[in-house]
Amino acid sequence: MIQFILNNEQIQTTAHVGIPLLDFIREHQQLKGTKIGCREGDCGACTVLVGVLKEGTVSYQSITSCISPLGNAIGKHIVTIEGINIPKALNTAQQAMADNYATQCGFCTPGFVVSMTGFALSTQGDTSVLNSCNDAISGNICRCTGYKSIQKAGFDLEEKLQEKDKNHQIDWLISQEFIPDYFNMIPEQLKKLQTPTNQLQTSKGSIVANGTDLYVRDADKLSEEPVHLISDDTSLKGISFTGATCTIGANTTVTELLENEQLRKIFPKLTSFLKLVSSEQIRNMGTLGGNFVNASPIGDMSVFFLALDSTLTIQHKDGTTRQIPFHEFHQDYKKYDLQEGEIIKNIAFNILDTTSAFNFEKVSKRTHLDIASVNASAKISVENNRITIAHFSVGGVAAVPKYAVKTAEFIIGKTINSETIKAAEEILQSEISPISDVRGSATYKRLLAKQLFFAHFIELFPANIDLQKLITV
């Protein structure tokens, strides 16, 4: 029996845990405001909010319901566009859209309004650092307006939210007509629901965390066959720091990385790095473990953690674990080192010290909300202007996310200057083997790999680089 709260109604259903949440909302509950668009998590028309009870309060995030399994709603509050209507008036987000003439055909409007309301409900500390209302709607597509009117509606909401009482957030949002008054009762209602337990050792079927990749490809299959949901397995969650090591659970989402204050101190540009990774809704859903086992040659988080010389912990269903260097995990195209009964438990890396610097770069047809043509990361340690440690990774130039061993070996011990970097880039070219596909020709990808390799040094060590010498053939 699946139990959760949908808007202001407690749901008990025996529906298959693997059907998309979108289908349950529309077909089982006849709530048609949540739209069917791309069914790939790209357009945002199916956006809903997911509320999770944490220490007595409910934390809300937006997700795309078309690629989220119904079973992941267990014990949570799911909010559709119908669930944020207030009596006899438009709510604040709806009114902002109307005031700015920000809707035309209307198909996308519910998704935008839900995302804006999710921003209003955000409990993160300083939204000006991590997010804006227009960041929150980054995963919502409109084909009519040209977006400027929608952006203006977002600015109006931000202005109103400057007065938010963070100590009594829900009461304030209700009084200002952002949300209806039933939201005050949700914490107590969630406490009464049965919570899911970890069934890792006995469950069967396809292993699914939050579904962002699997449900794009196999939603119909997963709607009918057994599904083993691991999203709420607490042993696979969390970000911890022990000594000089950071360990991150495989179920950690990109948003959780972004919101971690200690990680933002370690990586001062983490916000700008991770805003290049998918949309708000997908960052709220996509897990590290899922990105790794997707095994895409251009997996953003694979490329990110390869350059950190990370270590994977792999767990068998009998509880035993083993560790491997992350650069040994991906073996060939879509092939990786997981045996039957194994899953990724966590990934760990050494925290950057004062001699070390890190950079992430990505090029795609669109700057944001797109899959990379080529992406790249670098970790470089320098003492007395000589490189002591170097790790480089490049995506989109081989059958797997490429860990550039020979390039790193060549550059260690050398002085940072334009000549050294050009020589190292020639080694890099010998290590990669891009192919021509829809994201660019092999020649183009080699050029991108070169430019991104140079970009690491230009970004991290600008005083050591003579640009004219670097770009001269």
- Across the range 392-413, mean pLDDT stands at 97
In this structure, what are the phi and psi dihedrals at residue 294, rounded to the nearest 5 degrees? -55, -35
pLDDT at position 103? 93
Q: How confident is the model at residue 473 (pLDDT cuts 50, 70, 90)?
A: low
pLDDT at 200: 37
CA distance linking residue 88 with residue 473, whole number of Å: 69
Q: What is the pLDDT of residue 123?
A: 63
Residue 117's pLDDT band, with cuts at 50, 70 and 90, is very high
* Structure confidence by residue, pLDDT tens digits, 49-89: 999 999 889 999 999 999 999 999 999 999 999 999 999 89
- 366 — pLDDT class (breaks 50, 70, 90): confident
What domains can you pick out in the chain, each with its CATH number?
Answer: 2-192 (3.10.20.30), 234-471 (3.30.465.10)
CA distance 216 to 357: 36
pLDDT over 90 (residue 197): no
Dig out the tokens for 259 from the structure: 């919101």
Please determine, for residue 298, whether its predicted confidence score (pLDDT) is greater than 50.
Answer: yes
- 122 — pLDDT class (breaks 50, 70, 90): confident
427 membership: H or E segment, kind and range = helix 418-431
Task: Kindly indicate the confidence band of residue 196, based on its pLDDT and cuts at 50, 70 and 90.
Answer: low
> Lowest mean pLDDT: which of 109-123, 195-209, 216-230, 273-287?
195-209
- How many Å apart are CA 40 and CA 217, to the nearest integer? 8
pLDDT in tens, 140-171: 999 898 899 999 999 999 999 999 988 899 99
pLDDT recorded at residue 467: 86
